[in-house]
Chain A
């Protein structure tokens, strides 16, 4: 008989029981969340996101093919997509866990771990390359001691390449924390990094 494991608060009514390697969802009228049989139990604080996630799922209920909007909203709210939310999302959309995870892994926008405080995306596409983006990239690597996809150990800044921000008439360009900066120079780049490191 499956026994119940850790009890966590949540407004959900799902009971996940793993039996012989297969997970089954049972909707109970007892509004508590039971998790069982996973060696690394989901982090308790990830469970606290479930009410918000269910709110998002409820809002998108009637919309066909709504997985991407849902993932975007969850990431906007939490900063990333916690693994604990995958079974909820899958169940609401009548998808398998595998399908949801496959989608998350396909799109580069979706994060499965909390992000750094600052995310700097330097454009490395043709137009920006023709106006010195590679030199700026080298400057960033040198100044931050990171590679093009690196994140600083103190959680302050992540570097990511991006391929076109639509600012091509004023290359080179980058996006810092969602804000677009174009017509960059080495000096301007240094100023932007200084601002990030000030708050660190």
Chain B
């Protein structure tokens, strides 16, 4: 179902939400409101529908207090405090509009405009510029300083970045971009150069944005209230007219986006604040690299050919589908029922992957369906099913914000799951400690403001040895969470496991030699994981794409269970999946041995259920050469499936965990 974005639901409340058990009641312009302790006066006012003019405040970033537009009068407080940096207090009485405030706001705006180009009508932010809006709100009519004074209007634009422009002549030095790069993204690629009037935002890691440390996540562009940082697509096409909510297909985070459109043309992709996975953040891929969808190299008409050496022939859809179907049939008649199959994509919707497996099972009449998870996280599927009983991770992304110790194994979130990587770094900056187990010196090991405490750079192929060594330390040094094990785990299996890992040949001093990691580092990591508080493990393909992938996953799950790091926020076993609907495609039965809902194909009752519903899976699990299969209905059904696939709308996806 397409969700059209409603701008009325996206009000910037000025400062981030605060959680507190304590509620504070205050009075704003004569009206009463109750908010959690720690909320700013600005946010409290916004929640009750009162707009206090603001420029440097935005609710994705901590309050800064620099623009001085949001000044208010508070009974009993001297002067004119900034509402963004003033927390509410019980019984406070706030006035957001008074003659003095009006004068101050107008005067501050006058200063802004005295150093700003007056080209609103031809500016790319026209109609969607916060400076413009606030200037209108405060009723600025003249700039008594004139325009001949010192200004930045001649500052040169930086168009180096392929996706957005930086125009310093329009900058109001609100610092939102710098703060976004620090707080949201965690790259710290931006700073302010100089000071005072000369202050200009600078991507000072190089000569311009492209040469700097910027990773083009677009957080700064999104935060910028003016046209200073603006998408090139908006500069070229103008402001969008409507938005559709969608999900990025690039990686396993599955960021929620607003696709901002002009007619049927995409103007830009803006991360959706309400996205549970991304909370309004994105990375370069989903934010800017969507050009492939309309790339001139794309094939836009169906084509067929008989042999690989023949040229492609453009045909109609009907002809193409009929040809494909008849060829499938011919191949099966010639080479057997099991000669064809299908692979579902984890970038597709649940409905689409369901239909592919149905096509294969009912139309092709075999079980030759599989999914990318086979080569990616099928060890996760198997391993976690064996240990935890569910072949899925145990936490949401937000859980990382409650973690005290984070162990990243065989994954590089900064590059592969950038939005999650940013969230992880934010938690590290708050004080969480990081262990990295990876032969590579991934970005997290040495990231700005977020270094790993321990980097166990093991030899490739020694994952299981490492996990056993860690387990050995936990068991032999008495770091087990016995209460959790007694309550939640299989005692017999646990006993077998703990006996095994306790053996001297599994000690870090022995296995460390195999892994190429000093024993004291392994011991330190194990101790930190077991005793550091909430400890969460995040792992990726460095664990699963191995011949011992499933064993490794089980080893990881065992560590979590042994230390009681399962079952609440801030802990858990977290596979970082490849695409945003890997969960869904597995749920929908893309594995050859599982029908939709992870029901095993060998189960008679399950097969009977499916047959009753008109989908007749073949009951053979091996290649079948029979041409006289009693299942004739699959032929008709397959045609109907194809027809339905063409008309069904793009659907929602199973949120990946």
Chain B minimum-CB-distance residue to A37:
B211
Specify which of B195, B205, B443 is in contact with A96 (CB 8 Å cutoff).
B205
Q: Is the CB of B448 within 8 A of A102?
A: no
A91 to B210, CA, bound (A): 20
A21-B210, A102-B202 in contact; A94/B449 too (CB < 8 A)?
A: yes
B187 to A: closest C-beta gap in Å: 7
Q: Is the CB of A96 within 8 A of B189?
A: yes
Asked whether any CB of chain B lies closer than 8 Å to the CB of A149, the reply is no
Secondary structure type dominating chain B contacts: loop
Q: Is the CB of B205 within 8 A of A102?
A: no
Asked whether any CB of chain B lies closer than 8 Å to the CB of A98, the reply is yes
Specify which of A22, A24, A99, A106 is in contact with B194 (CB 8 Å cutoff).
A106
A21-B211, A96-B205, A97-B205 in contact; A102/B192 too (CB < 8 A)?
A: yes
Top 9 closest A-B pairs, CB basis?
Answer: A102-B191, A96-B188, A101-B204, A97-B205, A98-B204, A98-B191, A96-B448, A105-B193, A21-B210
B165 to A: closest C-beta gap in Å: 16
B447 to A: closest C-beta gap in Å: 8
Chain B minimum-CB-distance residue to A96:
B188
Q: Is the CB of A25 within 8 A of B215?
A: no
B90 to A: closest C-beta gap in Å: 36
Contacts of B214 in A (CB 8 A): 21-22
The 8 A CB mask of A58-100 against B (1 = contact, 0 = none) is 0000000000000000000000000000000011001111110
Give 6 CB contacts A-B under 8 Å: A21-B210, A21-B211, A22-B213, A96-B448, A98-B205, A101-B193
Q: Is the CB of B441 within 8 A of A97?
A: no
Asked whether any CB of chain B lies closer than 8 Å to the CB of A152, the reply is no
Q: Is the CB of B213 within 8 A of A96?
A: yes
Q: Is the CB of A95 within 8 A of B205?
A: no
Contacts of B210-229 to chain A: CB distance below 8 A: 210-215
Specify which of B195, B213, B446, B451 is in contact with A97 (CB 8 Å cutoff).
B213
A26-B441, A105-B193 in contact; A98/B213 too (CB < 8 A)?
A: yes
A102 to B206, CA, bound (A): 12
The 8 A CB mask of A18-37 against B (1 = contact, 0 = none) is 10011111110000000000
B473 to A: closest C-beta gap in Å: 27
Interface size on B, residues (CB 8 A): 26
Residues of chain A whose beta carbon lies under 8 Å from any beta carbon of chain B: 18, 21-27, 38, 90-91, 94-99, 101-102, 105-106
A25 to B194, CA, bound (A): 27
Known: A38-B211, A101-B202. 9 other contacts (CB 8 A): A18-B211, A21-B210, A23-B213, A24-B443, A96-B448, A98-B202, A99-B448, A101-B205, A105-B204
Asked whether any CB of chain A lies closer than 8 Å to the CB of B554, the reply is no
Q: Is the CB of A106 within 8 A of B205?
A: no
Q: Is the CB of A97 within 8 A of B449?
A: no
Asked whether any CB of chain A lies closer than 8 Å to the CB of B172, the reply is no
Chain B minimum-CB-distance residue to A21:
B210
Contacts of A24 in B (CB 8 A): 443
A21 to B189, CA, bound (A): 12
Max chain B Cβ within 10 angstroms of own Cβ: one of A91, A94, A96, A98: A98
A198 to B17, CA, bound (A): 67
Contacts of A27 in B (CB 8 A): 441, 446
Asked whether any CB of chain A lies closer than 8 Å to the CB of B190, the reply is yes
A65 to B211, CA, bound (A): 27
A22-B215, A27-B441 in contact; A98/B446 too (CB < 8 A)?
A: no
Chain A minimum-CB-distance residue to B445:
A27
Contacts of A23 in B (CB 8 A): 205-206, 213
Contacts of A105 in B (CB 8 A): 193-195, 202, 204
Asked whether any CB of chain A lies closer than 8 Å to the CB of B113, the reply is no
Chain B minimum-CB-distance residue to A103:
B191
Contacts of B449-464 to chain A: CB distance below 8 A: 449, 451
Q: Is the CB of B189 within 8 A of A98?
A: yes
A64 to B: closest C-beta gap in Å: 13
A24 to B451, CA, bound (A): 14
Specify which of A22, A25, A38, A94 is in contact with B451 (CB 8 Å cutoff).
A94
Asked whether any CB of chain A lies closer than 8 Å to the CB of B125, the reply is no
Q: Is the CB of A98 within 8 A of B441?
A: no
A96 to B213, CA, bound (A): 8
Asked whether any CB of chain A lies closer than 8 Å to the CB of B203, the reply is yes
B443 to A: closest C-beta gap in Å: 8
Chain A minimum-CB-distance residue to B208:
A21
The 8 A CB mask of B286-326 against A (1 = contact, 0 = none) is 00000000000000000000000000000000000000000
A26-B441, A94-B449, A94-B451 in contact; A101/B191 too (CB < 8 A)?
A: yes
Max chain A Cβ within 10 angstroms of own Cβ: one of B205, B210, B446: B205
B455 to A: closest C-beta gap in Å: 11
